[in-house]
Structure 1
Amino acid sequence: MAAKGWIEVSDTYCKGCEVCLSACPQGVMELNMSHLTPKGYHPAHTFKDGCTGCAICALVCPDAAITVYREITKAAAPVTATA
Structure 2
Amino acid sequence: MNRTNIPLIAVAVVAILLCLAFIVWGLGNLPEVSMGIHGWIALGLGTVVSVAVGGGLAAILIISRRNGYDEAAHQVFKDSEPDL
- Which one has a bigger Cα radius of gyration? 2
Q: Under a length normalisation based on structure 2, what TM-score does the superposition of the two structures give?
A: 0.17
Q: Select the structure that is richer in helix.
A: 2
Q: Select the structure that is richer in strand.
A: 1
